[in-house]
Amino acid sequence: MLIVNKIIIAIDGYSACGKSTTAKNVAKALHYVHVDTGAMYRGVALYLLRKGIPVDRETPELFAALDEIHLEFDLNPDGASSDLILNGENVEQEIRTLTVSNVVSEVAAMKPVREKLVLLQHQIGKKKGIVMDGRDIGTVVFPHADLKIFMSATLEKRVERRQLQLSRSGISQSDKEIRDNIRHRDHIDTTRQESPLRRAADALELDTTDKTIDQQVQFVVEHAMRIINENVVTNA
Protein backbone atom coordinates (compact mmCIF):
# COMPACT_ATOMS: atom_id res chain seq x y z
CA MET A 1 0.00 0.00 0.00
CA LEU A 2 1.26 3.48 -0.82
CA ILE A 3 1.05 6.05 1.94
CA VAL A 4 1.15 9.59 0.58
CA ASN A 5 2.22 12.02 3.26
CA LYS A 6 0.61 15.42 3.20
CA ILE A 7 3.00 18.33 3.51
CA ILE A 8 3.00 21.91 4.76
CA ILE A 9 3.74 24.58 2.15
CA ALA A 10 4.78 28.01 3.45
CA ILE A 11 4.51 30.97 1.07
CA ASP A 12 5.93 34.31 2.25
CA GLY A 13 6.65 37.55 0.52
CA TYR A 14 5.77 41.20 -0.02
CA SER A 15 2.21 42.55 -0.33
CA ALA A 16 0.53 42.25 -3.71
CA CYS A 17 2.92 39.71 -5.25
CA GLY A 18 0.11 37.24 -5.81
CA LYS A 19 0.80 35.14 -2.71
CA SER A 20 -2.81 34.43 -1.80
CA THR A 21 -3.97 33.75 -5.36
CA THR A 22 -1.04 31.40 -5.91
CA ALA A 23 -1.55 29.68 -2.55
CA LYS A 24 -5.28 29.25 -3.20
CA ASN A 25 -4.69 27.66 -6.60
CA VAL A 26 -1.90 25.42 -5.34
CA ALA A 27 -4.24 24.21 -2.58
CA LYS A 28 -6.91 23.52 -5.17
CA ALA A 29 -4.50 21.54 -7.39
CA LEU A 30 -3.27 19.39 -4.50
CA HIS A 31 -6.64 19.12 -2.70
CA TYR A 32 -5.12 20.93 0.24
CA VAL A 33 -6.54 23.75 2.35
CA HIS A 34 -5.37 27.32 1.88
CA VAL A 35 -4.84 29.49 4.96
CA ASP A 36 -4.47 33.22 4.28
CA THR A 37 -2.83 34.49 7.48
CA GLY A 38 -2.96 38.10 6.25
CA ALA A 39 -6.75 37.80 6.48
CA MET A 40 -6.39 36.97 10.17
CA TYR A 41 -4.36 40.15 10.86
CA ARG A 42 -6.93 42.07 8.82
CA GLY A 43 -9.71 40.58 10.95
CA VAL A 44 -8.06 41.82 14.14
CA ALA A 45 -7.50 45.25 12.55
CA LEU A 46 -11.17 45.47 11.56
CA TYR A 47 -12.32 44.57 15.06
CA LEU A 48 -10.09 47.26 16.63
CA LEU A 49 -11.26 49.89 14.12
CA ARG A 50 -14.91 49.10 14.78
CA LYS A 51 -14.41 49.38 18.54
CA GLY A 52 -12.31 52.55 18.29
CA ILE A 53 -9.35 50.83 19.97
CA PRO A 54 -5.87 52.21 19.11
CA VAL A 55 -4.30 50.09 16.36
CA ASP A 56 -0.67 50.96 17.05
CA ARG A 57 -0.02 50.41 20.75
CA GLU A 58 -0.59 47.89 23.46
CA THR A 59 -3.43 49.18 25.62
CA PRO A 60 -5.60 47.34 28.16
CA GLU A 61 -8.38 47.59 25.57
CA LEU A 62 -6.22 45.70 23.07
CA PHE A 63 -5.72 42.80 25.48
CA ALA A 64 -9.45 42.72 26.26
CA ALA A 65 -10.22 42.77 22.52
CA LEU A 66 -7.85 39.88 21.82
CA ASP A 67 -9.79 37.81 24.36
CA GLU A 68 -13.05 38.67 22.61
CA ILE A 69 -11.90 38.00 19.05
CA HIS A 70 -12.80 34.63 17.61
CA LEU A 71 -11.53 33.92 14.10
CA GLU A 72 -12.29 30.99 11.84
CA PHE A 73 -12.35 30.20 8.14
CA ASP A 74 -15.43 29.15 6.25
CA LEU A 75 -14.44 26.88 3.38
CA ASN A 76 -15.95 27.86 0.04
CA PRO A 77 -17.56 25.25 -2.25
CA ASP A 78 -14.38 25.16 -4.41
CA GLY A 79 -12.83 23.36 -1.44
CA ALA A 80 -9.67 25.47 -1.31
CA SER A 81 -10.46 29.12 -0.72
CA SER A 82 -12.17 30.32 2.42
CA ASP A 83 -13.81 33.39 3.89
CA LEU A 84 -12.75 34.93 7.19
CA ILE A 85 -15.38 34.73 9.92
CA LEU A 86 -14.99 37.21 12.77
CA ASN A 87 -17.15 36.36 15.79
CA GLY A 88 -19.66 34.61 13.56
CA GLU A 89 -19.78 37.32 10.85
CA ASN A 90 -18.41 36.87 7.33
CA VAL A 91 -16.04 39.85 6.93
CA GLU A 92 -14.17 38.68 3.81
CA GLN A 93 -15.13 41.79 1.79
CA GLU A 94 -14.67 44.35 4.54
CA ILE A 95 -11.16 43.24 5.51
CA ARG A 96 -9.96 44.01 1.95
CA THR A 97 -10.85 47.73 2.03
CA LEU A 98 -8.13 50.38 2.10
CA THR A 99 -9.36 51.51 5.54
CA VAL A 100 -8.23 48.16 6.90
CA SER A 101 -5.12 47.98 4.64
CA ASN A 102 -3.98 51.33 5.97
CA VAL A 103 -3.69 50.14 9.57
CA VAL A 104 -3.13 46.38 9.32
CA SER A 105 0.69 46.56 9.31
CA GLU A 106 0.66 48.50 12.57
CA VAL A 107 -1.70 45.94 14.08
CA ALA A 108 0.46 43.06 12.80
CA ALA A 109 3.57 44.60 14.38
CA MET A 110 2.19 44.20 17.93
CA LYS A 111 3.56 41.22 19.87
CA PRO A 112 0.34 40.14 21.64
CA VAL A 113 -1.51 40.15 18.31
CA ARG A 114 1.15 37.94 16.70
CA GLU A 115 1.24 35.58 19.66
CA LYS A 116 -2.50 34.99 19.47
CA LEU A 117 -2.55 34.46 15.71
CA VAL A 118 0.57 32.27 15.53
CA LEU A 119 -1.03 29.98 18.14
CA LEU A 120 -4.12 29.71 15.99
CA GLN A 121 -2.01 29.08 12.87
CA HIS A 122 -0.18 26.23 14.66
CA GLN A 123 -3.52 24.63 15.51
CA ILE A 124 -4.72 24.91 11.92
CA GLY A 125 -1.42 23.50 10.61
CA LYS A 126 -1.51 20.38 12.78
CA LYS A 127 -3.54 18.58 10.14
CA LYS A 128 -0.92 19.16 7.39
CA GLY A 129 -2.14 19.25 3.81
CA ILE A 130 -2.13 23.02 3.99
CA VAL A 131 -0.77 25.93 1.99
CA MET A 132 -0.28 28.88 4.32
CA ASP A 133 0.71 32.32 3.07
CA GLY A 134 1.93 35.35 5.00
CA ARG A 135 5.14 37.06 6.09
CA ASP A 136 6.61 34.78 8.75
CA ILE A 137 5.29 31.34 7.86
CA GLY A 138 8.62 29.82 6.78
CA THR A 139 10.65 31.66 9.42
CA VAL A 140 8.49 31.62 12.57
CA VAL A 141 5.17 29.79 12.22
CA PHE A 142 6.44 26.65 10.46
CA PRO A 143 10.24 26.84 10.34
CA HIS A 144 10.21 23.12 9.47
CA ALA A 145 7.70 23.44 6.61
CA ASP A 146 8.34 20.86 3.89
CA LEU A 147 8.37 23.50 1.15
CA LYS A 148 9.05 27.22 1.53
CA ILE A 149 8.55 29.80 -1.19
CA PHE A 150 9.53 33.48 -1.01
CA MET A 151 7.69 35.69 -3.49
CA SER A 152 8.62 39.13 -4.79
CA ALA A 153 7.81 41.43 -7.75
CA THR A 154 8.64 44.99 -8.77
CA LEU A 155 6.71 47.79 -7.06
CA GLU A 156 5.07 48.89 -10.31
CA LYS A 157 3.81 45.40 -11.07
CA ARG A 158 2.42 45.10 -7.56
CA VAL A 159 0.58 48.43 -7.86
CA GLU A 160 -0.89 47.30 -11.17
CA ARG A 161 -2.09 44.01 -9.67
CA ARG A 162 -3.59 45.58 -6.56
CA GLN A 163 -5.37 48.13 -8.76
CA LEU A 164 -6.91 45.33 -10.82
CA GLN A 165 -7.93 43.39 -7.72
CA LEU A 166 -9.60 46.45 -6.13
CA SER A 167 -11.40 47.50 -9.29
CA ARG A 168 -12.78 43.96 -9.64
CA SER A 169 -14.26 44.39 -6.16
CA GLY A 170 -15.73 47.73 -7.22
CA ILE A 171 -13.29 49.75 -5.09
CA SER A 172 -11.80 52.85 -6.71
CA GLN A 173 -8.34 53.98 -5.57
CA SER A 174 -5.66 56.03 -7.31
CA ASP A 175 -2.33 54.44 -8.26
CA LYS A 176 -0.62 56.87 -5.90
CA GLU A 177 -2.72 55.82 -2.92
CA ILE A 178 -2.04 52.17 -3.65
CA ARG A 179 1.69 52.75 -4.19
CA ASP A 180 1.98 54.73 -0.94
CA ASN A 181 0.12 52.00 0.95
CA ILE A 182 2.32 49.21 -0.44
CA ARG A 183 5.52 51.18 0.32
CA HIS A 184 4.31 51.95 3.82
CA ARG A 185 3.47 48.30 4.49
CA ASP A 186 6.77 47.04 3.04
CA HIS A 187 8.59 49.38 5.37
CA ILE A 188 6.73 48.28 8.51
CA ASP A 189 6.65 44.58 7.58
CA THR A 190 10.42 44.43 6.99
CA THR A 191 11.61 46.67 9.83
CA ARG A 192 9.31 45.74 12.73
CA GLN A 193 10.85 44.06 15.78
CA GLU A 194 8.49 41.10 15.93
CA SER A 195 9.03 38.51 13.19
CA PRO A 196 9.96 40.91 10.37
CA LEU A 197 9.44 39.77 6.79
CA ARG A 198 12.57 38.07 5.53
CA ARG A 199 13.39 35.13 3.32
CA ALA A 200 14.11 31.89 5.16
CA ALA A 201 17.55 30.55 4.16
CA ASP A 202 15.95 27.41 2.72
CA ALA A 203 13.11 29.16 0.85
CA LEU A 204 12.92 29.01 -2.94
CA GLU A 205 12.73 32.45 -4.57
CA LEU A 206 9.87 33.18 -6.93
CA ASP A 207 9.98 36.55 -8.70
CA THR A 208 6.49 36.97 -10.14
CA THR A 209 7.09 40.20 -12.10
CA ASP A 210 6.87 38.54 -15.49
CA LYS A 211 4.95 35.46 -14.54
CA THR A 212 1.30 34.57 -14.96
CA ILE A 213 -0.66 33.09 -12.09
CA ASP A 214 -0.62 29.72 -13.86
CA GLN A 215 3.18 29.80 -14.12
CA GLN A 216 3.48 30.69 -10.43
CA VAL A 217 1.14 27.89 -9.45
CA GLN A 218 2.99 25.42 -11.66
CA PHE A 219 6.32 26.37 -10.05
CA VAL A 220 5.01 25.63 -6.55
CA VAL A 221 3.06 22.50 -7.51
CA GLU A 222 6.09 20.97 -9.28
CA HIS A 223 8.26 21.45 -6.22
CA ALA A 224 5.48 20.19 -3.95
CA MET A 225 5.01 17.03 -6.06
CA ARG A 226 8.75 16.36 -5.98
CA ILE A 227 8.74 16.52 -2.17
CA ILE A 228 5.52 14.52 -1.85
CA ASN A 229 6.92 11.78 -4.12
CA GLU A 230 10.17 11.66 -2.14
CA ASN A 231 8.07 11.02 0.97
CA VAL A 232 5.85 8.30 -0.39
CA VAL A 233 6.17 5.29 1.88
CA THR A 234 5.60 1.79 0.57
CA ASN A 235 3.93 -0.28 3.24
CA ALA A 236 4.00 -3.83 1.86
The residues of the shown chain that bind ligand DC, judged by CB under 6 A, are: 15, 37-38, 41-42, 104-105, 108, 134-137, 185, 189
Q: How far is the CB of 233 from ligand DC (least distance, A)?
A: 31
Concatenated DSSP letters of 164-214: HHHHHTT----HHHHHHHHHHHHHHHHH-SSS-----TTPEEEE-TT--HH
Q: How far is the CB of 108 from ligand DC (least distance, A)?
A: 3
Closer CB to ligand DC, 72 or 228, in the complex? 72
Q: How far is the CB of 99 from ligand DC (least distance, A)?
A: 13
Closer CB to ligand DC, 42 or 211, in the complex? 42
Residues in the chain: 236
String of b and e for 138-176 (b: at least 16 CB within 10 Å)?
bbbbbeebbbbbbbbbeeebbbebbbebbeeeeeeeeee
Closer CB to ligand DC, 92 or 189, in the complex? 189
Q: How far is the CB of 197 from ligand DC (least distance, A)?
A: 7
Q: How far is the CB of 41 from ligand DC (least distance, A)?
A: 4
Closer CB to ligand DC, 172 or 193, in the complex? 193
Contacts 24+ apart (CB under 8 A), 175-179: 177/98, 179/155
Q: How far is the CB of 232 from ligand DC (least distance, A)?
A: 30
DSSP code at position 126 = T
Closer CB to ligand DC, 135 or 211, in the complex? 135
Name the β-bridge partners of 9. 131, 147
Q: DSSP H helical segments within the chain, as ranges? A: 19-30, 37-51, 60-68, 98-108, 111-125, 155-168, 175-191, 213-230
Closer CB to ligand DC, 98 or 228, in the complex? 98
